Amino acid sequence: MKILETQELSKQFGGLIAVNKVSMHVKEGDIVGLIGPNGAGKTTFLNAVAGLNPPTGGRVLFLGEDTTGFTPEKMCHRGLSRSFQIPRPYPKMTALETVLTSAIFGNRLRKVKDPVAHSRKMLSFVEFPMAEETITESLNTLQLKRLDLARALASNPRLLFLDELAAGLTEGELGDIMTLIRKIRDQGITILMVEHIMQLIMSVCERLVCIQFGNKIAEGPTEEVARDPTVTEAYLGRQKKKECSPDTHAGAQVG
């Protein structure tokens, strides 16, 4: 079943077309990677679907319903959650309160009985390393990312957007994150993740969607997309393109 589908989704900022008619879909239970070079429009795409920055064209279908232009709170109640690329906590709240907001207000349609216990469960699920009374202001970026993930999970989403969760992690931490992402999926949560770290993408994503300058340039099984010459070209840039051009042409002729 397609849990999410976008049809020619576009987002324009004044003269800049940040997302240009992107059609894609995510199947229930999948871990899908959204990749593309810096400034490709990945975050903008997530925002357009989640309602933080409503799309200027196209349609969003979430769980079979046309949710184009829905507010973020409405999308959250429908079962869409997201973590932020730059984690945005509530500076003066404690870690527990931060998660509580989502546990209490994100579950409007499917109330949790004991939000405090639920929030504690989320904090331990993401292995949040600090005490629950820690004020979020005093956390570092990695701790904030875990906290933000716990917050996103506390609303019991059906679909979870992860925006560069692993950015800035060390090799060892990367392994933890891989396990964590799989653990989330095993809870029955579908994942669409924006990521730059190839190692992580290759090991957890089943499918990939690649965008460049707001346009979708590839979509399909991970191995296939990763081998796609247009994708490697997009990542390696122009200079490499010239050097590689004989190969690419050869490849194209063969294919």
Partner 1 sequence: MQTTKAKSELNLFDRVLDLLSLKPLGAIGLVILVILPLVPPFNQEYLIRWLCAAALIAAASVSFDFTAGFINIVNFGYYAIVGLGGYTSAILVDRFGISPWIGIFVGALSAGLLGFFLGIVTLRLRGIFAAVMAWFMGLALMGLATKAVWLTRGSLGLRVERLFDSPSNLPYYYVILAMMLVTYVITKGVTRSDMGLAFKAIGQNMDAARTSGINPVYYRIVNFTLSCTLAGLLGGFYAHYYGILTPEMMHTSKTVEVLAVAYIGGRGSLWGGAVVAFPFIYAMEMVRSSLSNLPGLNLILYGLLLILVMIYYSGGFAAFFQQHFSKPKNIILYYLVNGKKTA
Ligand X SMILES: Nc1ncnc2c1ncn2[C@@H]1O[C@H](COP(=O)(O)OP(=O)(O)OP(=O)(O)O)[C@@H](O)[C@H]1O
Among 61, 63, 104, 169, binds partner 1 (CB under 8 A): 104
Note whether 56 binds ligand X by CB under 6 A. no
Q: Examine residue 105 and tell whether it contacts partner 1 (CB under 8 A).
A: yes
Residue of the chain from 2, 8, 13, 64 that contacts ligand X (CB under 6 A): 13
With a CB cutoff of 8 Å and minimum separation 6, the contacts of 47 are 11, 53
Which span (2-10, 32-40, 144-152, 217-225) binds partner 1, by CB under 8 A?
144-152
Q: By C-beta, is 3 or 46 nearer to ligand X? A: 46
Secondary structure element (H or E) that encloses residue 178, with its range: helix 171-186
The one segment of 35-43, 44-52, 138-146, 164-172 that binds partner 1 by CB under 8 A? 44-52
User: In 3D, which of 209, 253, 203, 255 has the Cα closest to residue 231?
Assistant: 209
Give the tokens for residue 131: 């005490």
What is the rounded CA–CA span in Å between residue 116 and residue 177?
25
Residue nearest to Mg ion (CB): 43
Classified as helix, coil or strand, 82 is strand
Between 135 and 217, name the residue whose CB sits nearer to ligand X: 217
Binding track over 84-103 against ligand X, x by CB under 6 A: -x------------------
| 10: phi then psi, degrees, rounded to nearest 5 | -130, 150
Residue 84 binds partner 1, judged by CB under 8 A: yes
Distance CA 124, CA 132 (A): 10
Count CA atoms within 13 Å of residue 193 on its CB side.
Answer: 31
**Contacts of Mg ion in 28-87 (CB under 5 A):** 43, 85
Q: Which tokens in the block code for residue 68?
A: 């184009």
Within 7-166, where are the H helices? Answer: 42-50, 72-78, 95-105, 115-125, 141-153
CA-wise closest residue to 163 among 184, 190, 197, 193: 193
Q: Is 55 in the site for ligand X (CB under 6 A)?
A: no
Picked from Mg ion, ligand X, partner 1, none, the partner binding residue 155 (CB below 5 to 8 A depending on kind) is partner 1
Contact stretch for ligand X (CB under 6 A) within 37-45, 57-65, 140-148, 172-180: 37-45
Binding site for partner 1 (CB under 8 A): 50-52, 71-73, 75-77, 81-82, 84, 88-93, 97, 100-102, 104-108, 148, 151-152, 154-155
**Residues contributing to the site for ligand X (CB under 6 A):** 13, 16, 18, 36, 38-44, 85
